Chains A and B, each alone.
Chain A
Amino acid sequence: MTQTSARTRTFVQALNEALDIAMERDPNVYMLGEDIGEMGGDFGVTRGLWAKYGEARVRDTPLSEAAIIGASVGSAMMGMRPVAEIMFADFIGECYDQLVNNAAKMHYMFDGQFKAPIVVRTACGGGFGGGPHHSQSVEGWFLNVPGIVLVAPATPADAKGLLLASIENDNPIIFLEHKALYRVKGDVPEGHYTTPLRRAAIARQGKDVTVVATMKMVHEALAAATELEKEGIDVEVVDLRTIRPYDAETVLESVRKTGRAVVASEAPKIGGLAAELSATIGEECFHDLKAPVLRVAGLDTPIPFSLVLEKYILPGKEQVIAGICSVMK
């Protein structure tokens, strides 16, 4: 760690710093994606890097997600460290095979002879009227895929530290960037540092109930905790940070301490991260639980366009509060 003081930065600026530092430190790091070059990406995450590093290392691509990820995997097999951008996570279906059948299995099926150290940055999550194809939470699409790593920061400091850790890691990583967090500000240390993968963070300490969350839901859980403090309920918030493979130890330790668990996830409830965490907590902590584990998650629908409809199906602070109150009864 060579970090010095922290400054206030947005989530986007933190990601941009991480990319800049990674490109500066390692000539094998390069980026590819749609409109990431001179334009700097749809959300400005790669702004300025094309001018600084040139078009050979900041490569604009056609609308060819399979080729983007295929090229990433192939170059990673050769020792390069590609950072691909898939503009919206919803488009990942176009390169699902490359991720699931190539990147995730490369090291295993070829008996360790190849590695696929790719980072796929992608903007996910709803809440802004993006409609059915620009708003989804895709972590569930990959939870059942051994070999894939899912990283999901909630704060600017973690966005930078986790992105650097991801680029330096030898596994294929899908790096989820929730769109609602892009403009969030926070303290971000200067210079190079990494935040460990597979380690959850205790975003808030509490003794009565554990809320396990990721990305935007961490902020919803923290807001819920602040409100419930007035009611005398002391909420612990666990920010998972890496979704696969996840830090079960920290989650279970927290639940054993509080005896109550709410799992908060923006994705549809069925078959997702909330279901997985809930099952694991149930299996491992049954005798420590004072109430059944409760899932707060999106409704089992596609994401509708109209903000009124979207708000109805996506969970927020109010749903987390209701969930906590339910397990506190």
Chain B
Amino acid sequence: MKLDIETLVDLYRDMVLIRAFEFGLEREFKKGNVPGMLHTGVGQEATQAALAAHLTATDAFFPDHRCHGINALAQEKYQGDGERIMAELFGRATGVCSGKGGSLHSANPKVGNFGDNAVEGSYMATVLGVALAYQMRGQPNVACCIIGDGTVGRGEFHESLNMAAIWKLPVLYACVNNGYAISMPVGKGHASPDIVDLARGYGMPCVIVDGNDIELAYAEVQKAIEYIRAGNGPYFLEFKTWRWQGLFSGEFRPPEEVKYWKEERDPMRLAREKIVANSAMTAEDLKRIEAEVKAEIDQWINFAKGSPMPDPAKATADVYVGW
């Protein structure tokens, strides 16, 4: 399938936003302005933009720890204030969780963002309940959980796929296989380096997608979501991609691998080439988009930095509902 050029450019803009968000965040993190830990989704922009494009505000998604991008896209698309995701990462009162959640627990049900659980894989069980509620109420919605390849080692992976299959729940499993669980290569940590091999036994459609090709990712997500909305049950997508960020101790991956993914397989470059080859747009036109988006992200960062810290007394609020 060929994507129309307007859609492709919109998706590219979303991808640019994700990368600018992550680079901006990384810069502020290094300056000590962002507390806690930082896991960025640089390199995985096409996958996130494709998912964000098809999920509506009445669907649900459970983001993983590299999903600042999809969180920001949903927040911007449905509420027009993506800067509140940035503010949350800065621990500010204006953040989507008023600073209580941070990078690993940003949520907003009004945009379909059901929040990350930093015990990776935990929400593979939670997603079942959201899907079950859709099913019991006859709603044609999709509950999507975005997981990494490392998460597949958790017991919840198997409990979730099994229960979704026997109950025919409207779950989209979006496995972002970026090759490593911290330092563990996917082929060493799992019985198969193709996660679909582990999912297939549960009887749902299992598809490997080039996660760095926005056009292909967009088409496969669309197909999966149409299948689920039609009441056919769960669907499993494995996006093959690669994260740019090393973890904790810096870069441990072979230099030729790093070079290959950062240069030849950079999702931004692949998208740019497609646009330029298939339209009247030039590299200069795309640079203009990049500059616009970057300026917006700079505003988001300024918003976050200029926002008030939460009232310390709020630390004891909302432990229990109504008590």
Residues of A within 8 A of B (CB): 30, 56, 59, 61-62, 64, 66-67, 69-80, 82, 97-98, 101-102, 107-115, 117, 146-147, 149, 169-171, 198, 245
The residue on A at minimum CB distance from B161 is A67
Which residue from B134, B143, B167, B318 sits with its C-beta under 8 Å from A108?
B318
Decide: A70 near B119, CB < 8 A? Known: A111-B98, A171-B320: no
Q: Contact mask B159-173 → A, CB, 8 Å, 1/0?
A: 110110011000000
- Which A residues touch B321, using CB under 8 A? 107, 115, 117, 169-171
- Which B residues touch A59, using CB under 8 A? 167
- Which B residues touch A56, using CB under 8 A? 136
- Which B residues touch A169, using CB under 8 A? 321
B236 at the interface (CB under 8 A from A): no
Question: How distant is the Cα of A66 from the Cα of B156 in the complex, in angstroms?
Answer: 7
Assess the A102–B130 pair: CB atoms within 8 A.
no
Assess the A66–B125 pair: CB atoms within 8 A.
yes
Q: How far is the CB of A286 from chain B (nearest CB, A)?
A: 26
Q: How far is the CB of B232 from chain A (nearest CB, A)?
A: 18
A–B Cβ pairs within 8 angstroms, 23 of them: A66-B159, A67-B156, A67-B160, A70-B127, A71-B126, A74-B127, A74-B129, A74-B132, A74-B143, A75-B133, A75-B136, A76-B129, A78-B133, A98-B122, A101-B117, A102-B117, A102-B125, A108-B318, A110-B97, A110-B100, A111-B101, A117-B321, A147-B320
Which residue from B109, B125, B155, B162 sits with its C-beta under 8 Å from A114?
B109
- Which B residues touch A82, using CB under 8 A? 129
Q: How far is the CB of B19 from chain A (nearest CB, A)?
A: 27
Assess the A71–B119 pair: CB atoms within 8 A.
no
Q: For window 112-142 of chain B, which residues contact chain A by CB distance below 8 Å?
A: 114-115, 117, 119, 122-134, 136
- Which B residues touch A171, using CB under 8 A? 320-323
The residue on B at minimum CB distance from A76 is B129
B107 at the interface (CB under 8 A from A): yes
Question: How distant is the Cα of A76 from the Cα of B133 in the complex, in angstroms?
Answer: 8
- Which A residues touch B320, using CB under 8 A? 107, 147, 149, 171, 245
- Which A residues touch B125, using CB under 8 A? 66-67, 69-71, 73-74, 98, 102
Decide: A61 near B101, CB < 8 A? Known: A66-B156, A102-B117: no
B283 at the interface (CB under 8 A from A): no
- Which B residues touch A97, using CB under 8 A? 119, 122
B243 at the interface (CB under 8 A from A): no
Question: How distant is the Cα of A61 from the Cα of B164 in the complex, in angstroms?
Answer: 11
Q: Contact mask B93-108 → A, CB, 8 Å, 1/0?
A: 0001110110001011
Q: How far is the CB of B23 from chain A (nearest CB, A)?
A: 27
Which residue from A30, A62, A245 sits with its C-beta under 8 Å from B163?
A62
Q: How far is the CB of B13 from chain A (nearest CB, A)?
A: 28
- Which A residues touch B122, using CB under 8 A? 70, 97-98, 101-102
- Which A residues touch B1, using CB under 8 A? none
Give the 3 A-B residue pairs with the shortest CB-CB distance, closest first. Answer: A70-B125, A74-B129, A78-B133
The residue on B at minimum CB distance from A70 is B125
Q: Which of B96, B163, B321 has the most chain A CB atoms inside 10 A of its CB? A: B321
Question: How distant is the Cα of A59 from the Cα of B133 in the complex, in angstroms?
Answer: 13
Assess the A75–B129 pair: CB atoms within 8 A.
yes
Assess the A110–B105 pair: CB atoms within 8 A.
yes
B277 at the interface (CB under 8 A from A): no
B182 at the interface (CB under 8 A from A): no
Assess the A112–B136 pair: CB atoms within 8 A.
no
Assess the B163–A102 pair: CB atoms within 8 A.
no
B319 at the interface (CB under 8 A from A): yes
- Which B residues touch A79, using CB under 8 A? 133
Decide: A74 near B128, CB < 8 A? Known: A66-B155, A109-B97: yes
Assess the A109–B133 pair: CB atoms within 8 A.
no
Question: How distant is the Cα of A206 from the Cα of B125 in the complex, in angstroms?
Answer: 49
Q: How far is the CB of A98 from chain B (nearest CB, A)?
A: 6
The residue on A at minimum CB distance from B133 is A78
Question: How distant is the Cα of A170 from the Cα of B323 in the complex, in angstroms?
Answer: 10
Question: How distant is the Cα of A62 from the Cα of B122 in the complex, in angstroms?
Answer: 18
Question: How distant is the Cα of A64 from the Cα of B166 in the complex, in angstroms?
Answer: 13
Assess the B107–A110 pair: CB atoms within 8 A.
yes
Question: How distant is the Cα of A113 from the Cα of B143 in the complex, in angstroms?
Answer: 18
Assess the A77–B319 pair: CB atoms within 8 A.
no
- Which B residues touch A102, using CB under 8 A? 117, 122-123, 125-126
Q: How far is the CB of B275 from chain A (nearest CB, A)?
A: 37
Decide: A74 near B97, CB < 8 A? Known: A67-B125, A67-B163, A147-B319: no
- Which B residues touch A73, using CB under 8 A? 125-126, 129
Assess the B159–A64 pair: CB atoms within 8 A.
yes
